[in-house]
Structures are given as C-alpha cells and as structure tokens.
Amino acid sequence: MKKADFQLILDPSLDKFKDECGVFGVYSNSPMDVAGMTYYGLYALQHRGQESAGIAVGNGEEVDIHKGLGLITEAFTKDDLNKLKGYIAIGHVRYSTTGSTKVENAQPLLASSKLGPIAMAHNGNLVNADVIRDLLEDGGHVFHTTIDSEVIATLIARGAKRGIERAVVDAIQAVRGSFAMVIATKDKLIGARDPHGIRPLCIGKVDDAYVMSSESCALDAVGAEFVRDVEPGEVVVIDENGIRSIKYSENTLCQTCAFEYIYFARPDSIIDGLDVQVTRVKAGEELYREHPIEADIVSAVPDSGIPAAIGYARASGIPYDTAFVKNRYVGRTFITPSQEIREKAVAVKLNPLKVNVKGKRVILIDDSIVRGTTSKHLVDSLRKAGAKEVHFLVASPVVKFPCYFGIDTPYRSELIGANHSIEEMADMIGADSLGYLSMDGMYNTFKGKEGFCVGCFNGVYPVSTPIETSKDHLER
C-alpha cells in the first residue's frame, strides 16, 4: 500500500476540497479587548484554515501584528495577545491556495503608506495576480511574500495618497477573482467583497463594537448580533463616525460558492440568507427522491455527511445509525507510520462500528467526492465489518472541474468525476451502487436565494479563469 493511500485512511478530509481562509475584524468605540475577541472569532473560523493564523491591532497611532504557523491555539500565547492593544483588530486563519506554507505568507499582511500602516486579511483568489505583480515589479516594487493577497495590499498602499477609501476601491477594481477582505488602518476598519460575492462576509454588532466575519458562527462565538451580509461589490467603512457603505460595482448578482453550503461553512452559519444546516438536510431529502434505495440503515461519513444522511433517513423512513466512529484526537501533525504499521492499514481516524453494520444493507452518505480514494477505503472497511451491501450516495453533483476562487483543488486529471462515468466510479470504489445529487436537486436545496458559483460542477465560472495551474504558481 502506498504511503499516500494510508494517509487517506487516516484522514478522509484529505480527499476533500480544502477550506480556503477565514477573516474577522472588530472596531470598538469603547474600551474592549479587540485582540481577544478576534482570537475567539478566529477560533470559530478554524475550520476554514489550519496552516497559519494572525491578528493585527490598530490603536489610533500604529498597527501591531502577530502571526504564526499552525492552529490559532498554536500561533498565539496569552502574552502574544496581551501585547496587542487598541480598538481596531483584524484576523486571519489560512489554508494556502496560492503561495507555500511559511510564516512570511501568513496573514494579515502589513504595508506602509503615506497614510500610515495598513493591515489586510484576504479570503479568496485572484486570477490576474500574476499580471499585476509583474507590472508592479517592473516598476521597481519588491514583494516580500508569494501570495496573491500582497498584490492587493500593494495596490492599496500605493494609492493611499488619494485617501484610504479611494485607494481600496481603486485596488479592488483592478483585480479579478474572488475576495472577502478586512482592512485595518490606524483608525478605520474596512471590509470589501468581490462583485460576484463568491466568498462570504457578514457584519455583526456587540455593545459599542462592529464585527465583520467570514461566517455568522463567529459572531455567535463573540456574542455579536448579526446585522447583515456585506453585499457583492460593496465596501464597508467603520470608524468613529459609524458605519457607511460604498457600492463600487453596479448590477451585481450574488453568486456565492455552492461549496460553502455543501461542505466549507460550519453548519451553524447563515450565509447570504440561507441556513447551512437546513440546506444540507434538504440535500439528503432530495437524494432520497432521486435515489430511493431499499436498505436497513442510513449512515454518514462523519462529520460533513451527517446532515444529509439525517435528511435521507427522514424522507425514506430508514433508520439513521452510526457506521463509523471518529477519533477526534488525531491532529494535523500525526506522525507518519512506519512501513510495518502501514502494511497493516490501521484505520486511525475512522473505524467501522461492526455491531451496527454487520449483516446490514448500508446506505453511506458523504457531501462530495473529489479523488475517490477515501471512498474506496470506507466501502472496503464496511464490507470487512460484515456489511451485506454498501450503497454510496453523494449530497452534491459530480465535481468535474477545478476551482480558481479560493479553494485548493486538484488538477482536473486528479478529479475522479472528470474522468469516469458514475458506473465506472461505483466499480472503482467497490460500492453496490453510487448516486449523486443532480444540479436541479442541489438548486432545490437552495430555495430562497438566486445565484451561485457552480463552476466546479459545470465549468461555467462567474469570472473568466486562467489556464489550469498549481497553487505555487507565484513561487519564484
């Protein structure tokens, strides 16, 4: 067995689209531990990125910053937080979609300008970053990171003499792609969202403070009340005069990434008016309408498949039960096992619950399949545990294309759905049957909202995309 295959047994999340990033910001008109609030906000957004974390704080005179590799709990100590004093803060948790994993690429990024320091945290991906970067380098600018976010930070800093608000608008009108960003100057908190609203960003309020976050679950974590989502093509400025809005792009359509609802967002979030948990349960109900199967139990690949499995069980009347026990203490830094242990194929992350599956016809539901390697191991382990039949259902359409807007996706050649029919895939993963949710079924789960980015399913993107490339394409 190959080492990579074994690692997929250990952690099914390695066979998923990787989360993008999470951003959080606070502006307070009264004394408040804004760094501490940002820390807990980022803790609630940790699912969106686990490679690095950072917080920048403005106090009216300067902006201080601390960032480090790993989880928020690894990147910060209490002393680190205590040193960050001020009334404006922004924070970022990162999963790299462009640029490698090193502390220089951690965000927020801090830049100098004629108006003083500017810190920026960005979730998303720019498709024209290379072109702008080359132009800036031809003009003599020296870049300090290999991430596309520095392109925006540089454009804002260079245009700051025209005023920070104008500089932000000019910079984001020059770039193409997806972005939800928060910016801290010494006396302002600014949030911005791309003209298509691909990446989420919302506003909350707690006491005399305004909060901005990638997801509403982080507002709940700090006791903030949800106010509204930032609109596509909108810049929100918060300072001592309150909150105001600048619409920099007209005739916008909110095309939120469909995968926010399918997998990325925490189930307790509400994004652009849709409750994430409700959409996932509905996906299971739609799956039953499209793929009614006679079975003894409905189960899920934990944790992301659970809401859809609950929906399928409700709609079908087949009891929901646990097929896999998850070890919740396997961290990111799990020690690679020796060859001797690898050959025994120990299932460290998920293990089948034999008493629940032995002699049973099992419907196993997952939110998506990317490469398919983990799906095969899960089906195999259920059969070894005594399952009589294993039917694999997927609560989203077939992933056939990469994402260019802030998700680290494999090349198209690595996507099982891009290269094989459903019958071939069923045979490859060893399932008795394999069924996907249709595009119409997915849209039925999104009732109440119009417009989504579904490029990974049908190849039609809101923004023209580059030639397929790796996330390291900005590396020199």
pLDDT, tens digit (0-9, with 9 covering 90-100), for 153-198: 889 888 888 899 999 999 999 988 899 999 999 999 999 999 999 9
AA identity, residue 133: R
Q: What is the DSSP letter of 268?
A: T
Please tell me which residue in 21, 202, 217, 254 is annotated as part of the active site.
Answer: 21
Residue ending a domain, among 262, 289, 316, is 262
pLDDT at 33: 96
Determine the angle formed by the axes of helices 149-158 and 129-138, rounding to 10 degrees: 50
Residues 170 and 292 reside in one and the same domain: no
Verify cis geometry, omega within 30 degrees of 0, for the bond prior to 108.
yes
21 classed as catalytic: yes
Residues 388 and 258 reside in one and the same domain: no
User: How many structural domains comprise the chain?
Assistant: 2
Is residue 184 within 8 Å of residue 58, measured between CB atoms? yes
Place of tokens 């490859």: 428
Determine, yes or no, domain membership for 32.
Answer: yes
The three-class DSSP label of residue 206 is strand
Determine, yes or no, domain membership for 404.
Answer: yes
Closest-CA residue to 84 (of 105, 110, 102, 104): 110
Residues 157 and 117 reside in one and the same domain: yes
How far is residue 453's CA from residue 456's CA, in Å, rounded to a whole number? 8
pLDDT at 325: 93
CA 14 to chain centre: 14
Determine, yes or no, domain membership for 465.
Answer: no
Is residue 76 within 8 Å of residue 39, measured between CB atoms? yes
pLDDT at 8: 42
How far is residue 45's CA from residue 233's CA, in Å, rounded to a whole number? 23
Q: In CATH, what number is assigned to the domain containing residue 83?
A: 3.60.20.10
Determine, yes or no, domain membership for 100.
Answer: yes
HSE-up (13 A, CA, CB side) for residue 257: 29
Residues 225 and 299 reside in one and the same domain: no
Determine, yes or no, domain membership for 464.
Answer: no
CA 277 to chain centre: 16
pLDDT at 339: 60
Q: Which two tokens stand for residue 210?
A: 């305004």
Place of tokens 């490679």: 51
- Judged by phi (left if over 0) then psi (alpha if -120 to 50, else beta), residue 194 lies in beta
Determine, yes or no, domain membership for 10.
Answer: no
pLDDT at 141: 81
Known binding residues: 257, 304, 366-367, 403, 453, 456
Determine the angle formed by the axes of helices 373-384 and 422-429, rounding to 10 degrees: 50
Residues 257 and 292 reside in one and the same domain: no
Residues 372 and 414 reside in one and the same domain: yes
pLDDT at 19: 52
The three-class DSSP label of residue 445 is helix
Residues 304 and 239 reside in one and the same domain: no
Q: Which domain holds residue 404?
A: 280-327+337-445
Pairing of strands 21-28, 88-94: antiparallel
How far is residue 433's CA from residue 408's CA, in Å, rounded to a whole number? 29
Q: Which residues of 333-352 are buried (b: 16+ CB within 10 A; e: fewer)?
A: eeeebeeeebeebebbbbeb
Residues 252 and 358 reside in one and the same domain: no
Residues 58 and 150 reside in one and the same domain: yes
Is residue 20 within 8 Å of residue 406, measured between CB atoms? yes
Closest-CA residue to 91 (of 111, 116, 64): 64
- H or E element in which residue 66 lies: strand 63-69
- Judged by phi (left if over 0) then psi (alpha if -120 to 50, else beta), residue 284 lies in alpha
pLDDT at 475: 33
Look at the pTM and tell me if it is higher than 0.85. Answer: yes
> What are 274-290's pLDDT values in tens digits?
999 999 999 999 999 99
Known binding residues for [4Fe-4S] cluster: 257, 403, 453, 456
pLDDT at 472: 44
Q: Which two tokens stand for residue 442?
A: 């997915």
- Judged by phi (left if over 0) then psi (alpha if -120 to 50, else beta), residue 242 lies in left
> What are 7-29's pLDDT values in tens digits?
444 455 556 665 569 999 999 99
Residue ending a domain, among 262, 293, 311, is 262
How far is residue 423's CA from residue 398's CA, in Å, rounded to a whole number? 13
Q: In CATH, what number is assigned to the domain containing residue 394?
A: 3.40.50.2020
Residues 294 and 431 reside in one and the same domain: yes
Residues 315 and 346 reside in one and the same domain: yes
pLDDT at 128: 84
pLDDT at 258: 95
Known binding residues for Mg(2+): 304, 366-367
Determine, yes or no, domain membership for 371.
Answer: yes
In terms of C-beta density within 10 A (0-12 exposed, 13-18 middle, 19 or more buried), how is residue 47 classed?
Answer: middle
Residues 199 and 315 reside in one and the same domain: no
Listed as ranges, residues in the chain with pLDDT below 50 are: 1-10, 97-98, 333, 468-476
Determine, yes or no, domain membership for 349.
Answer: yes
